């Protein structure tokens, strides 16, 4: 097998690929591959409406990009995306940064990513196990992105302290002043109390009950993440709060700009599986906000290891028709406070 393949302008490095994919979502990945090979990105919205399929929505919706679109990357920046999957955010990283290096265990998913983003001439996808690829990665990345990945540390890294070790392994690959971006569910997110199943295991209250020893995936509370950071000697970190969650974020809050009562009304957005509705989440959030406890019960976190950003609030309306899609940004340093512009 050749060590490299090229799809469009994207280069797949197969030098560490073990020769088979050790996980696969089955026939839907073949369906995704067919779509990205034969349909344009402009048609993805129509495809999503036609298919009415959670995996198709999850992997092809442009709303997935919101989770990193707000980050003020420069065209001189280098980005490492660990666990790039089918490329839901690879394309927007490539537009914002100068170089994107992806690491992904699955060749099938990497192929989907490459066809989906084949016009990008600044993306390399390293296919194989992260632990095999990591020693050869550069040590001057401005950003390392773990979007829906950190919770798999036990599977990726193994050992007695996989989450701490994951961070310790990544830190030497950051340049001075670089940042690690972690997007992850909150195991104590309000939606789990209200009747949503745990996103990874598909069972009720798994995170609230602190998981089981044999579970290969684990999310954390804010305090739990902070303990991991402190045990790894991380000197600076900051939290942001994507709402309704990080997968389809429409609003980004921060410790400097938290939601007001009445704002969190878009809670019934569980497209992946059935759920219970045990109470009114909007009313519960209002009480939580009133008692200054929102950071504890936010459904998801973005944890930034490194220096904070000037941005403290972002609201996207890019689920509208293009002519009505806008983005509202509030920054700490803005003279007038609020910037409203057409998206993107």
Domain containing residue 64: CATH number = 3.40.50.150
Please list the alpha-helical segments (H only) found in 255-336: 281-290, 294-297
User: Per the structure block, which two tokens stand in for 174?
Assistant: 């950051």
Q: Between 336 and 79, whose confidence is greater? A: 79
From residue 223, give the alpha-carbon distance in Å to each of 162, 187, 226: 17, 11, 5
Say if residues 109 and 91 touch (Cβ distance below 8 Å). no
Residues 294 and 324 placed together within one structural domain of the fold: no
State residue 202 phi and psi, 5-degree precision. Answer: 70, 25
Higher-pLDDT residue of 22, 47 = 47
Separation CA 155–CA 139 (nearest Å): 24
Answer yes or no: do 222 and 323 share one domain. Answer: no
50-75: pLDDT as tens digits: 999 999 999 999 999 999 999 999 99
Question: Are 336 and 306 in the same domain?
Answer: no
Judge if 25 and 108 occupy the same domain: yes
Q: Is the pLDDT of residue 164 over 90?
A: yes
Tell me, yes or no, whether 78 and 111 share the same domain.
yes
Domain with 255 in it: 4-312
In this structure, the strands spanning 123-127 and 10-13 are parallel
334 shares its domain with 250: no
Q: Say whether both 269 and 337 belong to one domain.
A: no
211 band by pLDDT with thresholds 50, 70 and 90: very high
Is residue 251 within 8 Å of 243, Cβ to Cβ?
Answer: yes
Q: Which residues contact 118 (CB under 8 A, 6 or more apart)?
A: 7, 8, 9, 10
CA 40 – CA 54 distance, rounded (Å): 19
Q: Which of 69, 64, 72 is nearest to 332 (CA)?
A: 72
First to last CA, the chain: 40
332 and 225 in one domain?
A: no
pLDDT at 291 over 70: yes
E-only strand ranges, the chain: 4-7, 10-13, 78-82, 99-104, 123-127, 141-147, 174-185, 237-243, 251-254, 300-305, 311-316, 326-331, 338-342
Angle subtended by helix axes 162-170 and 222-231, to nearest 10? 60
Counted domains in the chain: 2
């Amino acid at each position: 097998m050749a060590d490299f393949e090229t799809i469009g302008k994207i280069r797949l490095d197969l030098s560490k690929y073990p020769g088979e994919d050790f996980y696969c979502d089955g026939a839907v990945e073949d369906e995704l591959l067919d779509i990205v090979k034969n349909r344009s990105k402009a048609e993805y919205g129509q495809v999503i409406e036609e298919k009415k399929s959670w995996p198709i929505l999850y992997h092809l919706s442009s709303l997935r990009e919101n989770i990193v679109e707000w980050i003020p990357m420069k065209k001189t920046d280098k980005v490492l995306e660990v666990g790039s999957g089918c490329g839901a955010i690879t394309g927007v990283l490539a537009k914002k940064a100068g170089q994107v290096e992806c690491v992904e265990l699955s060749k099938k998913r990497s192929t989907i990513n490459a066809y989906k983003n084949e016009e990008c001439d600044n993306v390399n996808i390293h296919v194989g196990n992260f632990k095999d690829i990591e020693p050869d990665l550069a040590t001057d990345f401005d950003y390392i992105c773990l979007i829906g990945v950190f919770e798999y540390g036990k599977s990726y890294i193994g050992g007695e302290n996989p989450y701490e070790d994951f961070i310790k392994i990544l830190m030497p690959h950051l340049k001075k002043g670089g940042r690690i971006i972690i997007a992850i569910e909150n195991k104590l997110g309000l939606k789990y109390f209200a009747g949503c199943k745990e996103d990874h295991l598909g069972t009720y209250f798994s995170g609230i009950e602190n998981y089981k020893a044999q579970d290969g995936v684990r999310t954390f509370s804010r305090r739990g993440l902070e303990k991991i950071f402190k045990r790894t000697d991380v000197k600076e970190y900051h939290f942001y709060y994507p709402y309704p969650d990080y997968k389809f974020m429409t609003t980004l809050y921060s410790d400097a700009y938290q939601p007001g009562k009445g704002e969190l009304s878009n809670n019934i957005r569980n497209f992946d599986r059935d759920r219970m509705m045990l109470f009114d989440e909007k009313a519960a959030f209002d009480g939580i906000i009133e008692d200054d406890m929102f950071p504890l019960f936010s459904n998801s976190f973005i944890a930034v290891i490194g220096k904070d950003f000037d941005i403290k609030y972002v609201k996207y309306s890019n689920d509208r028709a293009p002519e009505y899609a806008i983005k509202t940004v509030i920054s700490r340093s803005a003279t007038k406070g609020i910037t409203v512009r057409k998206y993107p």
